[in-house]
Amino acid sequence: MQRPPPFPSRRRRPWRRAAAVVLALAAWGGLAAAKAQPAAMSFETLDSPFCPAVGCLLAQGMITTDTPAAFSRALRERRLRPGALVVLDSPGGATMAGMKLGLLIRRAQLATHVQSADCASACAYAYLGGVIRTVGRRARLGVHQFRASDETGELSIGRAQEIAATLTTYLDAMGARAGLLAIALSTPPERIRWLNPGELEGFGVVNFALAADLAAGPVGPTAKAVVTTR
C-alpha cells in the first residue's frame, strides 16, 4: 500500500513564500468567483469512518472574505492537531480568500479531502493547502478563470498580471504544477473545467492517491476532461 508523504518539518515551510504575496492582494475586494452564492462556508465536526484519529472538520459552502477568519476560530475551538482532515464541499467563491484558507490549512499541517462532493474555483486553491490531499471516487475538482473588476468596472492588464503571478507563486509553494493554472486561465469564468484523474495526479493536486478511487476512472493524459457551465 502506498504510504502517505510525511508531514514537513516545522523548520521548512515553503508556503511562506506565497503568504506575503497573497496577503498583500487580499485587501483588494474585487477578486471573486464568477457567481456569488448566499450560503457562506461553515465548519462542523465530522464523524466518518474515513476520519483520522485526530479528527475531521467539514468545510461546506461558499468561500467569502470572512471564511479565513471563521476557519481560524474553528481551529481554536476544536483544537485540531496536525494530521486532522479538512473535508471540503464548496462551489468556490472569493479567490484570494481561498488561497488564504489554503495557507491556514498548510500552517496548521492539516490534510484535505473531497469525498462525494464538488470543490471548484476558490475551493480548489484552498484544497491545495493540505499537506496530504486525497479525493473520493465521486468527487470533482474544477478550475476556471478568476473574475474581477476595479472601480472602472474592468480588470486592468497590470492587475490581471499581478493576480496571475500570485497564483503561480501560491501553486508552486503548495506543490502543484503550473499546468493547473494554464487550464484555469483557459477556461471562461462562467464554466468549470473538471479535472480528470490523470490531471489530478499529474499536476500534483492529489498527492496521495487511494488505489480504489483511482480505479474508478481512467488515469493518464488521455483521460477525458469535462467542462460544464455554471
How far is the C-alpha of 123 from the C-alpha of 143, rounded, in Å?
9
Say if CB 152 and CB 146 are below 8 A apart: no
Residue 201 within a domain: yes
pLDDT band at residue 30 using 50, 70 and 90 as cut-offs: very low
Q: How do residues 211-227 score in pLDDT, each as one tens digit?
A: 444 334 332 333 344 55
Q: pLDDT higher for 221 or 162? A: 162
The predicted model gives 174-197 an average pLDDT of 94
Average pLDDT over residues 152-161: 66
In a domain, 173, yes or no: yes
pTM: 0.78
How far is it, in rounded angstroms, from Cα 87 to Cα 82?
Answer: 15
Average of per-residue pLDDT values in the chain: 79
CATH for 138: 3.90.226.10
Partnered with residue 93 across adjacent β-strands are 63
At residue 35, the pLDDT reads 47
Asked if the structure places residue 7 within a domain, the reply is no
Q: What pLDDT shows up at residue 48?
A: 83
- The alpha-helical segments, DSSP class H, found in the chain are 16-26, 67-78, 95-107, 122-127, 157-174, 178-185, 197-202, 211-214
Q: For residue 138, what is its C-alpha cell?
A: 465521486
Name the residue range of residue 122's domain.
Answer: 16-229
Nine cell digits for residue 133: 490531499
Q: Is residue 5 part of a domain?
A: no
Residue 97 lies in a domain: yes
Whether residue 3 is contained in a domain is answered as no
User: Is 56 a domain residue?
Assistant: yes
What pLDDT is recorded for position 204? 95
Cα 96 from chain centre: 11
What would the pLDDT profile of 32-62 be if each residue is shown by its tens digit? 444 445 599 999 999 888 788 899 999 999 9
In the chain, the number of structural domains is 1
- Domain membership of residue 144 (yes or no) is yes
**DSSP label at residue 117:** S
For position 128, what pLDDT does the model report?
Answer: 98
pLDDT digits (tens, 9 = 90+) for 84-133: 999 999 999 999 999 999 999 999 999 999 999 999 999 999 999 999 99
Q: Which residues pair with 133 in a beta bridge?
A: 112
Give SS3 for 104.
helix
